[in-house]
Structure 1
Amino acid sequence: MAGRVIYIVRSWPRLSQTFVVNEVLALERLGVGLSVYSLVRSGESLVQPEVAKVRADVVHLRGTGRRHAAANARDALSLLRRHPRTYLGTAWFALRHPGLAAGYGDCSTLACFAHASEVAAHVVRAQGPQGRASHVHAHFAHDPALVGLLVARLTGLGFTFTAHARDLYQIPPSSLATRARAARAVVTCCEANARHIRHSVAASDLPPLLVVHHGVELDRFRAGPPRPPAPEVPTVVSVGRLVEKKGFEDLLRAIALLGHRGVRLCLRLYGDGPLRARLLELRESLGLADVVTLMGARTSDEVAAALAAADAFVLTPRVTDDGDRDGIPNVLVEAMACGLPVVTTAVGGIPELVTDGANGLLVGAKDVAGVADSLERLVVEPSLRARLGCAARITVEESYDVDEAALRLREVFAGDVGWQGEAGP
């Protein structure tokens, strides 16, 4: 497609958002030119190795503090001189709709307008054959999508956004509807999210709604060397940010229950987050210091190696009291791509990926005994592990290839939204 796609994200690079980096790399393999605009820096010291392969320009936006006032004023003046009615109309829109930034998010509507003005000024200045922008796409429905909407108003470019999890469920329906009305299409990663969007946004306000699964690199995430069919102590892996919606407290209690039954395994939990201290305390109180290892944050290469060496994978998400939840966790797709049997909970879009007894084992959210029962089955039934792992790999090959997802997104960015992935009313 001619022209660059402006990609707006909340922070770059983000360790827990490898799906965004993977998507960027897959689009670049298709020849799509991209410029990534990040509202803030991630502040993380550990960076995924894939980030180094990204060819796109990455711009970290300045912010709205006093020390940036002169630069922000120059951007505003350049836009005002070039298209005064457009700039003033967009500014008036932002002033009249402060509630568009309500709910989950860190920026006010006016701060989003300042970010959008900086991006739009970049777009206006880069009008040569190599720099011309053709489309704006935002990842996440909260601050990034509002910035994308305002960039589209300031520049006249087409606009789309991808809604994921907390960004979708924790903004007001009216704010979601305003973003949707302005978009050429709305993309989301699972049908559960699509149902929420259709429920929240009137059909008259909703453009084509497209379900595009986050894909994985099938050549990178694949089964490792054959493991013993009946290891003395099976290794189970789990991966995720140590936050409430991941349900790791339920998982540790399930592991303790297995210990009371005399079922032996070891759990390696990869990830970091605000609940680390609480989980360490719970591990000690349950007597699991020799069974559960909190591995901390690791790169995707280290996670891929851990999955390839594991006997099974477990993830136990839940819906929090404030509505936060997962869509389809990318780590679950990665584990299944590695041919691992998985135990997980029926939350968000997970039942669209995992069919109980066919390509994994599915239990209810917060069902500690159910998680323990399913893990015990995997420990004592090697043939079940093999059958589920084989079916899991086939599922990912058929529906979760990152390059197939990129092909669909390229069509969306080019304005072709009539393909069969469209979610009906």
Structure 2
Amino acid sequence: MRIAMIMNGFPEISEKFLINQVSGLLEAGIDLDIYAAVRPSGSMRHFAAERYGMYDRTRYTRAARSTKTRVLDAPRLILSNFWSNPVAATRALSTKRYATAARNLKTLYFLEAFGKERYDIVHCHFGPNGLTGSFLKDSGIAKALIVTFHGSDINSYPSRHGTNVFRYLYERADLITANTSFTKGKLVANGCPEGKIAILPVGLRMEEYEFPKERVSRDEATLLTVGRLVEKKGHRYLMDALPSLRTRFSALRWRIIGDGPFMNVLRDHAKELGVSEIVSFEGTKNDQDVAAAYMSSTVFVLPSVTATDGDMEGQGLVIQEAQASRLPVVSTLHNGIPDGLLDGRSGILVPEKDSPALADAIGRLLSDKDLRETYGNAGRDFVAETYDIPLLTKRTVDLYESCITS
């Protein structure tokens, strides 16, 4: 079977979960082509993407990230598509069906990129790309449509673009996958038929987080957070917990891996609290450096919250990466996070925006080495049984086959 997978930018350094899925499908012998709207932002390259030849395998549309540039390119784009496929080009402009994908011209850009290629399935990552997938199915480019929702696409996208933005997608999709039970619930509440939804989390490769004991050297009191510096990650609430924690743990240190628009806000807040010297802003790192950070840290913390614009965490794969590295986790009772760890066994969950509760949970783990080891071992076993790529790849291929046969 031939599969086309649609992404936004690929491979992005912050979306390793997509690389993990693609590598598993390639290892399973799936005939897979990748289509991305734009080239990845930044110059840092994924080792795994290079190893599996994903840069060469990906076909990029001619779409620009700038709306102004797309508008200027519209005459060329429209004439080109009308010349080669007038029926599909006319259909591509239907905002009633394809909503934002028609308005931002993605339907036409992908029509141009697909050309004469035809597929058994088009698998779209993120709901907005599913709008383009609906168009491709309607145009006979794919026989079946699968759309994977990751969280932010259903948590905040409908509030910005209209409650019914995905209604036609729900009609045309043969299968919709959700990364957590929370995401599934949001889809159902938005009007997606429950019978079309399968829960399929994103995964990781356990071998990438298996370290010989002689290489593991945990620091005495190092907290680690990995993720973009945006409001929903909740960095501010962990920072507010640092002054009280530092009175108990003199070697306390917090490593923050990631970049984003909240960088300066967080730096200023650290200065206000007098904790700048124990907070390390380390920016974006490659896979190997992140794995090394897991190996040397004491507790992983992801204090996620609901942002003011309604944006929420999705699955939070970094929580599974930390557990695979035998790190105990402290996180929040937020969105799909409770699906991704064993509360009270591999990690501790606390309410959102509760700095004292974060301090208490972190303090319990920092003060008890045996508890950390117990949580760490339980976490690795849990992730191996639930999130390892070979297991998830088999489930994905089974879903592909069921779509084709039905």
Structure 1 and Structure 2 fold alike (TM over 0.5): yes
Aligned residues: 393
Amino acid at match of 1:175: V
Residue 423 of structure 1 is matched in structure 2 by none
Contact 1:263 1:376 in 2 (8 A): no
Residue 382 of structure 2 is matched in structure 1 by 395
1:133 equivalent to 2:119? Answer: yes
Residue 130 of structure 2 is matched in structure 1 by 145
Residue 244 of structure 2 is matched in structure 1 by 257
1:161 equivalent to 2:147? Answer: yes
Pairing 1:100-111 to 2, within 5 Å after superposition: 100-101=99-100, 108-109=102-103, 111=105
Alpha-carbon distance in 2 for matches of 1:355, 1:18: 23
Higher alpha-carbon deviation: 159-168 or 50-59: 50-59
Amino acid at match of 2:153: D
C-alpha displacement at 1:79, in angstroms? 1.9
Amino acid at match of 1:313: F
Residue 244 of structure 1 is matched in structure 2 by 231
Tell me the SS of whatever aligns to 1:414.
helix
Residue 58 of structure 2 is matched in structure 1 by 58
Q: Summarize deviations over 1:2-27 as a string: whole Å, max 9, x none.
A: 22x11111111211100001111111
Contact 1:137 1:148 in 2 (8 A): yes
1:17 equivalent to 2:15? Answer: yes
Tell me the SS of whatever aligns to 2:8.
strand
Residue 422 of structure 1 is matched in structure 2 by none
Residue 113 of structure 1 is matched in structure 2 by 107
Amino acid at match of 1:236: L
Residue 209 of structure 1 is matched in structure 2 by 197
Residue 180 of structure 2 is matched in structure 1 by 190
Among 42, 60, 77, which residue is 2:83 paired with?
77
Pairing 1:242-391 to 2, within 5 Å after superposition: 242-261=229-248, 264-391=251-378
Amino acid at match of 1:151: L
Contact 1:162 1:188 in 2 (8 A): yes
Residue 221 of structure 2 is matched in structure 1 by 234
C-alpha displacement at 1:67, in angstroms? 4.5
Structure scoring higher RCO (CA < 8 A, sep ≥ 6) equals 1
Residue 166 of structure 2 is matched in structure 1 by 176
Q: Summarize deviations over 1:302-354 as a string: whole Å, max 9, x none.
A: 10111012222111100112211112211110000011111111111111122
Q: 1:334 to 1:417 in 2, by over 3 A?
A: farther
Amino acid at match of 2:202: H
Contact 2:216 2:295 in 1 (8 A): no
Amino acid at match of 1:116: F
Residue 66 of structure 2 is matched in structure 1 by none
C-alpha displacement at 1:69, in angstroms? 4.0
Residue 67 of structure 2 is matched in structure 1 by none
Which ranges of structure 2 fall in alignment gaps of 5 or more residues? 64-69
Alpha-carbon distance in 2 for matches of 1:415, 1:115: 29
C-alpha displacement at 1:416, in angstroms? 4.5
Alpha-carbon distance in 2 for matches of 1:68, 1:49: 36
Q: 1:263 to 1:378 in 2, by over 3 A?
A: farther
**TM-score when scaled to structure 2?**
0.90
Alpha-carbon distance in 1 for matches of 2:74, 2:310: 36
Contact 2:170 2:192 in 1 (8 A): no
Tell me the SS of whatever aligns to 2:213.
coil
Contact 1:354 1:362 in 2 (8 A): no
Instruction: Percent identity, please.
Output: 26
**Structure (1/2) with the larger helix percentage:** 2
Contact 1:411 1:417 in 2 (8 A): no
Q: 1:108 to 1:72 in 2, by over 3 A?
A: closer
Q: 1:55 to 1:69 in 2, by over 3 A?
A: farther
Contact 1:248 1:316 in 2 (8 A): yes
Amino acid at match of 1:371: L
Q: 1:372 to 1:197 in 2, by over 3 A?
A: same
Contact 1:87 1:154 in 2 (8 A): no
Give the RMSD, CA atoms, in angstroms.
2.4
C-alpha displacement at 1:264, in angstroms? 3.7
Q: Summarize deviations over 1:218-246 as a string: whole Å, max 9, x none.
A: 01112453589996x32221100000000
Q: 1:272 to 1:235 in 2, by over 3 A?
A: same
Tell me the SS of whatever aligns to 1:238.
strand
Q: 1:28 to 1:51 in 2, by over 3 A?
A: same
C-alpha displacement at 1:362, in angstroms? 0.9
Contact 1:120 1:151 in 2 (8 A): no
Q: 1:386 to 1:227 in 2, by over 3 A?
A: farther
Contact 1:235 1:267 in 2 (8 A): yes
